[in-house]
Structure 1
Amino acid sequence: MVIDVLNFITNSLNRKLIILFLVMSSIPLIGVSLYANSFAGDSLEIQVENQLTSEALNRNNAINNLFSMRLEQTTSLSYSDSVHAVTLGSENMDSNKFELVMNNFQSSIGFGNGVNSISLINKEGQIVYNSLGKSEMYLENTEFERGLQESFVMLKEYDGSRVISTITPIFDENNGNEMIGVLNVNYSPEILDEILLNREGLGESGEVYLVSYDGLMLTPSRFSEGLEFNQIANTEPVKVCKSNGQKMTGAYPDYRDILIFGTSVCNDQYGFATLAEIDVAELEAPTTALSQVIILSVISSQSIIVVLAFIISKRISKPISDASKIIKTISEGDLDVIIKESKSKDEVGVLTNSIKTMTENIQQLIGNTRDSAMSVNASAIGSKTAITQISAASQETATAMGGIAKGAMDIVGKSHNIAESITNVSESISDLSHKTTAVNDLVKNVLQTSEEGIKLTHNADTKMTEIIESNKKASSMVESFVKQSEAVNSFVDSIKGIASQTNLLALNAAVEAARAGESGRGFAVVASEVRRLAQSSAKSADEIAVTVDAFKGATESTLESIQDEQEKINEGKTIIDETLQSFQKTVEDIKKISSNVDTISTNTKEQLPLIGEIKSEIDEIDSISNSNASAVEQISSATEETAAGSEEILSSMDELTDNSKTLEDEVRKFKLPKSLSVET
């Protein structure tokens, strides 16, 4: 499945360009998005941490101030003489004054919302006064014993209510500051609850509460009622405070077993931890929303990029794809293609126009070659017919010369019968004259045909020269394509150099940004992106170089094909040149035959007027007959040589016909446009 997908992508330049655009745009976009999301999450976490830490510290300080104030108020009451008198059980105690002091104290603080109860306990542990009328001892021994030694504040339950319990020793200044008892004032926790339950700066799920070092929840929860002094909240920050007194910030399960992000302040003086917490879900909500926005932005931008990439890649890949299809069609021998001229001035446009020019030149070259091959083939067939006729005529001439030679020998052998046969000789000479004239005419016709063959061969040779020149031009153009490919490679090398220099500059910028520290972080990100883009540019340049090399290889292959065709054309020209030489030799031989036939014809005609003198010059007949026999033998020999030369010419013409037919068949494999086609 993966291989099929990869093949589907790699088999199309358009799809590869779209994927390349998509990857190149996705890497920086996703990188920046991830960085922005991470940076926003970290920033939000730091902001929340600072906010919670500030809230915990401020509220812990407010609680310390509240406790200190309550302890000071209790201590100031312990200095009252009426309190001393009641504690000591003095008989001189003025109860009205004591009640007035208590009422004034409660009024100054606020009864109910301020003071919950006031108790005086003598040093024997007996309650001598309780504002609520309680008489039973309610303080634990450790609390009472500590109250005899020092003043302190604690949170506890008293009479079913939460109170801020302040305990301070009572000293009698009149008896040398003798410790005479303990004053216990329980204050309402209303102000404490207002401090802790204030939701300002805590969001929707945040809260601040107190937990004792024993893990007991001391203050109300925002989410549930009645948890104070009932809920165990021995969470991780409480354990850390109890073990080493160090604050803790981080995510952990709270008393509800919900994952929260919180911070703690350890209050060793009062033995509790102040916890400020917020639900992790609320903390991560902005980051989650930002992530969703980023994802939607990435999807939207990628959709736009895909559309733009499709449009751009289509504009780039379509001319290349069309050129590739045309070149493939040409490589299969189909030259019946029409290439539109590109108006673009870029490399793709130049390539398209160059392929258009090359195709037109090849079409013209193949058309001319086919026409020339057909012309050569037709001329060769015509020459072959003429040579066949010459050969037949030579055979007839040789036969005729044989008859003449036999007659001459009979004349020599039968000279004594010459007189009787003079009439027959006269007729034979007359017949010989007619035949010689016919042979002479035939030889002249053959000579004329041969000269026309020479002209046709000259024309074929000229056409072959034009074909060679056209082929050389095509070869030069293809070599120019190779050089242009090398120029593109040089341009790609320049791109690689620029990308490498940009990469180095980006690296230097990143180093300088690192030296700048926090202030250079943004520049470091930009430098990193520039470096990544430089590396991507270098990679794209490598891919372009591979594509150009592939085109260069195809062009060089085309050049080799043209050069191979050049060799075949040169061979055809050589054959035509050899044929021309054979024709010229044939013409020379025919001219000799014509000269000899003219001589025979002249001699024969000269014999006719002298036929009457033969009888008187019988003695000379033998000599004349011998001369005639010798001449006939020479003519016969020349005729036989002419026949042999004709056979050689005929063999050469057969070879020329085969070669021209082969060339024509090879050229016919190419399919030309109708405008360049010929009727066959």
Structure 2
Amino acid sequence: MKSITQRILIWLVSSLVILMIVLASGILLNVGKTIEPLVVNSAEDLATQTGKSISTYFGGIQKELEIYTKNSLTKTLLWEVMKMDLNQINEEKDYYKNIFIINQKGDFRSTDDVEKNLSNDPIFTEVMNNENREYYFSDLRKSLTDNSDVIVVSQAVMDVGIKLGIIGAEINPDVLLKELFIDDDGKNRFSFILDSQGKIVAQNSQIPNFNFSELEQVASSDELQTINFDGKRYFVYDSDVDMPDGWSVGRAISEDVLFQGQNNLLRFILIFMIIVIGVMVGLSYFIAKVISNPIIKFSEKLNDVAKGNFKVQFDQNRKDEIGKMGNSLNNLTKALRNSFSEINTGVENVDNSSKELSDLAQQSSATSEELDAQAQDINNNINEIKERISNLSVAMEEMTNSSQNISAVSQDLNNISNDTSNATHESFKTLESIIKLIEKTARVSKNSKEKVSALNESAENVGKIVETIDSITEQTNLLALNAAIEAARAGEAGKGFAVVADEIRKLAEDSSKATEEIAKILNVIKDKTKQTVAASDVTEKSVNQIDKEIKAIETNFKNIESSVNKMNDSIENLSATAQEQSASSEEINSSIHEINESITDIAKDIAEIKKSSDEQSSSSQSISANSEELSALADNLNEQIKRYKF
């Protein structure tokens, strides 16, 4: 279902949109027919102005060279004289590739240090052989010094009407384009120069693989032409230049750029139409709102009244039928507000009374429950205390028995400790006897070692004596041998002496054998005495070690005896304490039985309190249930009344 505002908007907006569409269509058609010729004419005028710029540029170069010819140094045409000035000029002017001079014989010299004869070159012949021409511009040609493409300008050097030679320059065409067409981007707009042969001398296009052959054909026409390349349409126009003769300059502009102004204007008109339509729609919406708002507000307030809102105030200030209807409805809502206010007051009184009754019942019930819970807690605590007292009584009996057992055990320990002390004392005496015996053994061992050492020294001395005897025996044996030799020499007279010498030799041999046996025996004695000395050392060390350990044991026995004495004292104290503890435990046990009887009486009283509390809680719950039912009825009635605002 459409609202009043929507109906008004649809009628007004549809009419305005149709009107604006018709108006916009007429404007767009007229703009296209009017502006397009202006754009084309503007492009042609721009081509003409560009041609004049080229003529001025080349004219300036020609005039510049002509000024150089007025210099007295230039008129000498001597390279060595002019070289420095020409090199300086060439460096200062970016558009000069190089500067050269040619004398009357056609000899060529340039700032690139190139020398050649150009007597048959048009650069020379067009100026020197033509009386009416003082300067010459070449078409695009190869440089006189390298293989690059250049434009050559030559100017006659005159003196009193006589042509002395030529001064000229080579111009890089790319530099020319950079200086004259700085607004070209090379893609949507680029320029080109045609020489007298219709060939492109220079161009600043940045479009890859552009068809310049077709461009040369199109540019030869005197009218505005178009060329299509790579999906773009370019408008091509050119204009003749006054200098050089037969040259022309052209520009190619893409359709988007050429008609950019027209497109911007059309876009502006379209946006303006849209804005106008938007403004008209807004105005229509405002008018619709002015008409429909009072009706919509009246309808919304009636909906509020239908929902129970009697506080709504209708507009009764209007002087039309809506104002009269608003006055009547205001009187109706006022009467309804008064009636519902009285009903609401009665419901609130009933609700408050029921809530107070419910609160009292709940408080009484809560108090009863709290008292019941506390009685239950007390009862539980009493039972727990009784159980703990019972356990304590058993523990006290066990402690009494333990105290008696400790007393008996302490007496036994005291007896054992005394026996241990006596045994320790006897062991200490035995240990003292052992220490004395070990000390005596140490002294005997030391004496034995000293005697064996003396025996070893005596054996050493005897060995030396035996060695002396053995030496004497060897000498005696030699003397006996010499005597036998002398006796043999004496013959019969020396036989008796020979017998004596032989006996002496035998005696010497026997003595030698005896000394050998004695030496062997002495060696055995020395070995045994050394072993005995070593054994005595070991015995002495062992005895000393045993002595140290026995003394340590003696110290330990002393500590044991001291500890046993202390333990005897502690056992006597423990026995006395155990007897005192046994007596105290019996007294505590008697008190515990009395406490247990008192707690039993308290538990009976608590049970009576809990019974009374349960009866009170039951009554409170009954009252609370009745008050809650009354409160629920009051709340239900209150909710029904709350649906209405008054």
User: With structure 1 as the length reference, what TM-score do the two structures score?
Assistant: 0.33
> Greater CA radius of gyration, 1 or 2?
2
